Amino acid sequence: MAEEISLNVNDRKLIEISQALGIGLNLEEMHKVRDYFYSEKRNPRDIELQAIGQAWSEHCSYKSSKSILKKFIFGIKAKQNLLVIEEDAGVVDFNKDYAYVVALESHNHPSAIEPYGGAATGIGGILRDVVCMGAKPIALVDPLFFGDLNFDYKKLPKGVKHPKFIQNGVISGIRDYGNRVGIPTVAGMVYYDVSYLTNCLVNVGCIGIVRKNRIISSKISKKGKKGDVFLLLGGRTGRDGIHGVTFASTQLNEKSEKEDRSAVQVGNPIIKEPLIHVCLEAVEKNLVKAMKDLGGGGLSCCVDEMAYPNFGAVVNLENVLLKERDMKPWEIWVSESQERMMMLLDRKKVDKVTDICDLWDIEYSIIGEITEDKRIKVNYHGKTILDMDIKFLVEPPVYNRPYTIRNLKEGEKETKEPIYEKTILEILSSPNIRSKAFVIQQYDHEVGARTVTKPLQGKIESLTHSDSVIIKPLSKEYKGMAIAVDSNPSLMKISPYWGAKYIMDEVCRNIVSSGAEPHSFADCLNFGNPEKPERMGEFYEACKGLGEFAKALGVPFVSGNVSFYNESEYYSVIPTPVVLGIGIIDDIRKSIRTDFKRNGDLIYLIGDIKKEMAGSEYYKLYGYDFGYIPKCDPDELKNKIKAILEVKKIIKACHDVSNGGLVVTVCEMMIGGNIGASLDLSKIEMRTDYKLFSESSCFVCEIRERDFEEFEEIMKKNKVKFHRIGRVSGSRLKIIDKEKSIILSLREIKEAFS
């Protein structure tokens, strides 16, 4: 039964209570809790303190980030009159009858402790976020960030797993869960840096599709009424995942590997697949008033967030189906065991829903009902063990933490020109450029038969990376969605503000390269300890860059996540905002691919290469820590987007210039087409290495020679700079730059890339 705890103690004892219970509340918050229970004229019980700890955790409450998100990210108006619903996932107009649903989350700490289970349950959670809006999941994405795979085992900090072990576990967990539940993993990225050694980043996203008249809210609307019941269905509740959100809201340390393992949930995709069917069938039959998944904070946060602000709730905890005996009431209340969903039902419709559960062999139990008193009450075997004002629970303190903004230090220095052939091959084979086919090919990216353009494109025997993947959500319509995900830690390390703008620019370029128009964004903001002013400054600047760029484009953020405390005593992660971009293409048959198509076609560079080498793969290769960072302009990008979409009917291949610069872009296009290219860069006034390796915001396009006049006319009309730089030809890369000549065979390029 619940234990009563006195808070009539000194400050040192208050902190000891917080630590002993594992609730992660600081002294100021413990004072607020004590004041609340003074006003209630009683002592709290352990289950009540545990509930507050979950609801007030950084992971659930966004108490350090909310004020900055409101300032820069929330409320960006779309240039079109879009339906945008922001709850567990964003819901956005697709056509007059359907909406798409998008969510992006982090599962960083669990994956650092138990890579396979942490990543797998990340996929499980993001699927539930989409399902609880009434949507059918149709695609998954997985941006991943690991430490240096060549890190010396002997130098690993105590309690830290080697990046190779973490990478293998994470990829296997995503593969096994996604493949078994039958949802394709279509997009993502893999990035390596030593800063992720003690805190890998495992971000996962999901896209779903739903008829607009079947959208379900996770909050109980005013149409709910006293006596409507909570039906808990899916997996049973166990001790796995206890304190998951408080664990995610603190730094990892050398004891985390052992002490926090119980905070990692245990997934079961074999239950998830029929559970999705049950939820969608109940929604289709109009049986559900509200629905929410049990993720962070378990039953505690789920019931609170569903009922607030219109209702209260009473829960009979003994009705919860358990995995194991002798669980304490507070453990049942805050457990984050996986594969669980909560529905609010009219009591008269319960039998119809439970019949569906029986058909799919899904367990269920009625655990409570809504009330009108706006309090949360939990009973256990006839005794009330939790009785609190719901507003106090779900409206925690919000902080305006101090922040410092570092000055951007830029400047170019004279360097020797490299041996170009050697440098190109070294960049192509570097960890953050080389082929990620070893990851992509483990995932089933075609299950469901919606994936039109794939994450690997080109000829069967010669595949290259795509810029974005296009899916066809509806069987009877050719309208499609382009999905791209991006981050750029190298630039974020130098300038969180300009790095964030570059990420926005690049995710848009990825979408446009496939022939689609940017439509919405979701973000996952991965940062270090927000209690440190320099980390908070990085967060502030990144949000400012993201928000300004999105506002200028008129494309909103419809969903997102903040993950703080990705830091240990050894390393803090590079500030790593990840942006998931969704584009709309009216006809998937008019999409563009990355690979070169035909001998003799012209190659154009769209945009201007600049001396923007800071953070480039080229400068990293040679250890240069200077240069100018790319400074992306949303107005210039809008012109490029307009021009490319206007001329896309004659574009045979398109690829954006990003990591590695122009030469890597061209090499990747060659690999996909299994064909060579001849470039002449003599008319671009700049040193050769700047031309080849600068990562300025540009595109490379392949055009039939007969179409060049139309192409150039549309570029000029839209005030977009362009250069004709060569032709598709032969079986090698040949680059002429005035007196210089660089030649590499296609075979050498493929071997380096793979």
Active centre residues (catalytic) = 59, 107
**Amino acid letter, residue 733:** L
CA triple 274-279-285, angle to 5 deg = 125
Give the β-pairing of 576-585 and 557-563: unpaired
The answer to whether 465 touches 226, Cβ cutoff 8 Å, is: no
Tell me the three-class secondary structure of 111-138, residue by residue: HHHCHHHHHHHHHHHHHHHHHCCCCEEE
**Tokens (6 digits) for 278:** 């049950």
Q: Where are the beta strands (DSSP E) in 658-721?
A: 677-680, 698-703
Q: Per-residue b/e over 565-596, b at no fewer than 16 CB within 10 Å?
A: bbbbebbbbbbbbbbbbbbbbeebeebbbbbb
d(CA 509, CA 517): 9
Give the CA count within 13 Å in the CB-facing half-sphere of 487: 32
CA distance 482 to 466: 11
Q: Reduce the DSSP state of residue 101 to 3 states and report it.
A: strand
Nearest to 437 by CA among 466, 416, 472, 408: 466
Query: What residues pair up with 422 in beta bridges, in sequence order?
Result: none
Strand, helix or coil at 132?
coil
In the numeric block, the tokens 């730089």 are attached to 725
| Residue pair 312/389 in contact by the 8 Å Cβ criterion | no
State the amino acid at position 284 in one-letter form.
E
Listing DSSP states for 61-76 in one string gives H-TTTHHHHHHHTTTP
Q: How far apart are CA 582 and CA 682, in angstroms?
A: 37
Exposure string for 175-192, b = 16+ CB within 10 A, e = fewer: bbbbbbbebbbbbbbbbb
Report cis status (omega within 30 of 0) of the bond before 309.
yes
- DSSP letters along 534-549, please? HHHHHHHHHHHHHHHH
Q: Are 637 and 697 in contact (CB under 8 A)?
A: yes
Smallest CA-to-CA distance from 288 within 237, 360, 226, 229 is with 229
The rounded distance, in Å, linking the Cα atoms of 189 and 526 is: 15
Residue 363, C-beta contacts closer than 8 angstroms, at least 6 positions apart = 233, 234, 235, 236, 321, 357
Count how many residues are written for the chain: 754
CA nearest 90: which of 634, 587, 580? 580
Write out the two tokens for 476.
């009877």
